[in-house]
Amino acid sequence: MAYTSHGRHEKMMYGGIKLYAGTSCPTMAQKIADYLRINLMDRDIIEFPNENLFVKLHSSVRGQDCYVMQTTSPPVHRNLMELLILIQTLRLDSAARITAVIPYLCYARSDKKDQPRVPITARLVADMIQTAGADRYITMDLHAGQIQGFFSIPGDVLSAFSLQLDYLKSLKPNMVEPVVVTADLGFAKKGRNYAAALDVPMAFIEKRRAGNDAKAKALNLIGNVHERDVIIVDDEVDTGGSMVEAVHLLKENGARDIYISFVHPSLSANAAEKLGALPVKQFITTDTIPISKEKEAFFTGRLRILTISKLIGEVIRRANEGRSVGELFNE
């Protein structure tokens, strides 16, 4: 609803859905287009020899409801610039509304000033997306909830919780006295939600990071995992250091089969190789970030990728039709 200068409310009408995709996640973009039964819109994205990017749309979007699909995984800065340039191109072509669809939002861990003389880069990224011309945003499982407050435009922060929970419930009958474990105390609240929904106990791993080093050391296990199957839950796996330490600590404390469930498979550097070498029965993640065939091979058939394309597709449909998104989550 829009509030007019005459004091009356009137329904805002947009044109049809126009779905554009950057180069970071073409497979997911096509799945979303298939779900919506529409075609991906044609565009050219060209990188010049000096690494400058150029975007050209193949058709007019004047008065249309446009969605730009781009995950900001590595190469982060290339993908982020593609997103910003696509948004600005749509704005300059007089799109009625532009929604940035970002399954994985980069710099989400830089969400606070926790030491002197450091930036809050997540706020900067939010500002750039808005300045480029986005009217709304859609993203998945932010590292910290306060990042929503960095945006002054409305948005939908979705969660893969139900998707992963349904899959874990299908595995539970074959597990022995399962217990949910969080590899980070910062994820404890969400971990508790998994434990409650699965009706299983919970344990925690305490860890500390040394300064700005990406490597983390698991220090202490709080809870009992002896002779139990373990489900480790987290929002993102980047270098894999925390998970390696967690698995070793759990095995030292008598854990049986270990399952690792996480939303964003960043898997930077040699993380896939390190994780694949672990005594883990199954890895469960989503396609917010594409995983190359080379990385997937390290998991030797133990990697299950759950697609979020139907969820995002339904949210796009409801946003276009002006219907509630909360109804999808019984809210």
Mark 180-190 as b/e (b = at least 16 C-beta within 10 Å).
bbbbbeebeeb
Calculate helix-pair angle for 161-171, 188-198, nearest 10 degrees. Answer: 50
The answer to whether the beta carbons of residues 94 and 312 sit under 8 Å apart is no
pLDDT digits (tens, 9 = 90+) for 33-82: 999 999 999 999 999 999 999 999 999 999 999 999 999 999 999 999 99
Sequence length of the chain is 331
The answer to whether the beta carbons of residues 2 and 135 sit under 8 Å apart is no
pLDDT digits (tens, 9 = 90+) for 304-319: 999 999 999 999 999 9
CA distances from 193 to 28, 144, 157, 286, 311 (A): 27, 16, 17, 18, 20
pLDDT value of position 179? 97
Could you give the percent of the chain with pLDDT greater than 70? 92
Average pLDDT over residues 118-131: 96
Domain 161-306's class? Answer: alpha beta
CA distances from 62 to 10, 39, 90 (A): 21, 18, 9
pLDDT value of position 10? 39
Could you give the percent of the chain with pLDDT greater than 90? 81
The answer to whether the beta carbons of residues 265 and 235 sit under 8 Å apart is no
Question: Do 2-159+309-329 and 161-306 come out as alike in CATH topology?
Answer: yes
3-state secondary structure of 201: coil
Domain ranges of the chain: 2-159+309-329, 161-306
pTM of the model: 0.91
pLDDT at 277 exceeding the cut of 80: yes
pLDDT digits (tens, 9 = 90+) for 79-112: 999 999 999 999 999 999 999 999 999 999 999 9
pLDDT at 210 exceeding the cut of 90: no
Let me know if domain 2-159+309-329 sits in CATH 3.40.50.2020.
yes
Rounded to 10 degrees, the C-alpha dihedral 277/279/284/288 comes to -20
pLDDT value of position 216? 52
pLDDT at 185 exceeding the cut of 90: no
Q: Which residues are catalytic?
A: 207
pLDDT value of position 68? 98
Q: Using CA atoms, how far apart are residues 83 and 131, in angstroms rounded to an integer?
A: 12
